[in-house]
């Protein structure tokens, strides 16, 4: 599962621009991302303001220092903590700063500061030809030097959805992008790139499982509080693979784990409880192609990827019934956690869907789902620009060579949007930070210019 707070900056440019390789390091230290001490949290606004005056430079002052350092000036040693400087040297910082200046010109100042607490803020720094977004955190001890700095995205001024799509198309391998306004009569494309081509989506298939659970709850066949036993352990991601088999779990708890941390064992348990045939039928109804049938449990997918060649020969062209027979014939053996060595592994054994189908799935969930559904989708960490929306739900999927990012959004005026992006390669891994940055740009464009194509979408 992707966590935006750990992603390096992926440089992005105007249409036709080939982005340079992302920096091989992250300007981020997580030391100060934990909650503040109770004494700090209990301060009221007045005492906090007073404390700032006594305890050293404020967030705006430190942000201003960052602007100077991004321009090649400023005092790096006094601006950052010793711990930060030990991990990120001035030369390393300057390498990223130089890339930003080459692409966007000189940093012109702070355009926005969104304060999270007295030590943390999200900052937008203006450039002559663009903007850069960053997350800033100060050391709790005076003089409150910068202990954490993460560049979360960069975009040219006058960015557009067409520009976002052009950057995506420039990535090596196969990409797809669909950005939709979700209207009363269905999704309306705002921009599209290979949006009808089915691509591997990794854990994005868990949205199909969620949809079937939502349908059964809505029909009165299930309740969120229904209890089922935890099934056989799969491989991570997740936590329940280490729990005793048969542990009692509510359907809501399983779905929450499936969506928030992409728990594979929880997902498999839900699939068995809801019915495999029903999951298959739901996936087809939501646009899954024949290549996705039967919808594999994660344990089945891992077993197939680790099986001998004869067990998976011709998999891509096998009909669903033959695939089921192959799965049933697999000899029982432990799953190998080391099977993913960092390179794509048997990419034909996957879950597939087009960006259009993923957007349609998100639209179905926002129409048919209840508040519990939307709340669970909003738990996982999301792109920085998602904070600009009144609601943001997210489910991604990844494995070596595969990345899928899917967002359901509602702006402050009540308009709904879906963003579905995918990138895969059979010959190499993909850079997660690059696609995350591109999707963040898309979200930022939508948030800043909600009427991004033609007339305003009609609120539902």
- pLDDT, tens digit, for every residue of 358-397? 999 999 999 999 999 999 999 998 887 898 899 999 999 9
Read off the pLDDT band of 81 (50, 70, 90): very high
Find the angle CA(185)-CA(187)-CA(193) to the nearest 5 degrees. 150
Mean pLDDT, rounded, for 18-28: 31
Q: What pLDDT sits at residue 457?
A: 41
More confident position, 107 or 133: 107
Tokens of 225: 């509080």
- Range 425-428 contact pairs with CB under 8 angstroms and sequence separation of 24 or more: 425/172, 425/173, 425/174, 425/344, 425/401, 426/344, 426/347, 426/401, 427/173, 427/344, 427/401, 428/172, 428/173, 428/343, 428/344, 428/401
Q: What pLDDT sits at residue 155?
A: 83
Read off the pLDDT band of 143 (50, 70, 90): very high
pLDDT digits (tens, 9 = 90+) for 306-334: 999 999 999 999 999 999 999 999 999 99
Q: What is the mean pLDDT of the chain?
A: 86
> Picking from 88-102, 232-246, 262-276, which range would have the lowest pLDDT averaged per residue?
88-102
Mean pLDDT, rounded, for 55-81: 91
56, pLDDT greater than 80: no
Read off the pLDDT band of 34 (50, 70, 90): very low
Mean pLDDT, rounded, for 131-140: 92
Q: What pLDDT sits at residue 202?
A: 97
Q: What pLDDT sits at residue 5?
A: 28
Q: Which residue has tokens 């509602």? A: 410
Q: b or e along 231-268 (b: 16 or more beta carbons within 10 Å of the residue's beta carbon)?
A: bebbbbbbebbeeeeeeebebbbbbbbbbbbbbbbbbb
Dist. CA 264–CA 157, nearest whole Å: 41
- Under 8 Å CB-to-CB from 396, ≥6 apart: which residues? 1, 2, 202, 203, 204, 262, 380, 403, 404, 405, 406
pLDDT digits (tens, 9 = 90+) for 399-434: 999 999 999 999 999 999 999 999 999 999 999 988
Read off the pLDDT band of 31 (50, 70, 90): very low
Q: Where are the alpha helices (DSSP H) in 286-384?
A: 298-305, 309-312, 320-328, 355-368, 371-377
455, pLDDT greater than 70: no
Predicted TM-score (pTM) of the model is 0.78
């Amino acid at each position: 599962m992707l966590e935006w707070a750990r992603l390096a900056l992926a440089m992005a440019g105007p249409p036709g621009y080939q982005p340079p390789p992302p920096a091989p390091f992250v300007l981020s230290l997580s030391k100060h991302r934990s909650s503040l001490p109770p004494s700090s949290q209990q301060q009221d606004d007045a005492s906090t303001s007073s404390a700032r005056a006594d305890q050293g430079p404020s967030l705006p002052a430190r942000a201003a220092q960052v602007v100077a350092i991004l321009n090649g000036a400023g005092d790096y040693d006094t601006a950052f903590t010793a711990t930060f400087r030990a991990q990120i040297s001035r030369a390393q910082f300057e390498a990223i700063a130089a890339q930003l200046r080459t692409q966007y010109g000189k940093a012109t100042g702070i355009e926005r500061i969104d304060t999270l607490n007295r030590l943390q803020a999200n900052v937008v720094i203006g450039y002559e030809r663009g903007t850069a977004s960053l997350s800033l955190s100060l050391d709790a001890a005076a003089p409150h030097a910068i202990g954490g700095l993460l560049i979360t995205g960069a975009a040219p001024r006058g960015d557009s959805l067409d520009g976002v799509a052009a950057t995506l198309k420039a990535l090596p391998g196969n990409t797809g992008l669909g950005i939709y306004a979700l209207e009363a009569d269905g999704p309306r494309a705002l921009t599209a790139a290979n949006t009808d081509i089915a691509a591997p989506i990794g854990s994005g298939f868990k949205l199909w499982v969620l949809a079937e659970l939502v349908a059964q709850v809505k029909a009165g066949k299930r309740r969120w509080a229904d209890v089922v036993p935890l099934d056989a352990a799969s491989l991570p991601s997740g936590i329940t693979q280490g729990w005793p088999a048969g542990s009692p779990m509510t359907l809501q708890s399983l779905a929450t784990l499936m969506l928030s941390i992409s728990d594979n064992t929880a997902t498999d348990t839900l699939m068995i409880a809801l019915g495999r045939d029903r999951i298959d039928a739901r996936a087809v109804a939501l646009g899954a192609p024949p290549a996705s049938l039967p919808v594999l449990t994660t344990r089945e997918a891992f077993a197939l990827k680790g099986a001998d060649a004869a067990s998976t020969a011709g998999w891509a062209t096998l009909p669903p019934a033959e695939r089921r027979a192959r799965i049933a014939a697999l000899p029982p053996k432990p799953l190998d956690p080391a099977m993913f060595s960092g390179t794509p592994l048997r990419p034909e054994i996957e879950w597939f869907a087009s960006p259009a189908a993923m957007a349609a799935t998100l639209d179905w969930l926002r129409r048919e789902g209840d508040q519990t559904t939307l709340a669970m989708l909003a738990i996982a960490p999301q792109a920085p620009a998602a904070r600009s929306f009144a609601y943001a739900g997210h489910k991604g999927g990844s494995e070596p060579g595969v990345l899928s990012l899917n967002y359901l959004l509602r702006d402050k005026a009540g308009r709904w949007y879906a963003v579905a992006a995918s990138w895969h390669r059979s010959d190499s891994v993909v850079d997660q930070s690059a696609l995350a940055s591109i999707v963040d740009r898309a979200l930022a464009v939508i948030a800043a210019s909600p009427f991004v194509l033609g007339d305003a979408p009609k609120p539902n």
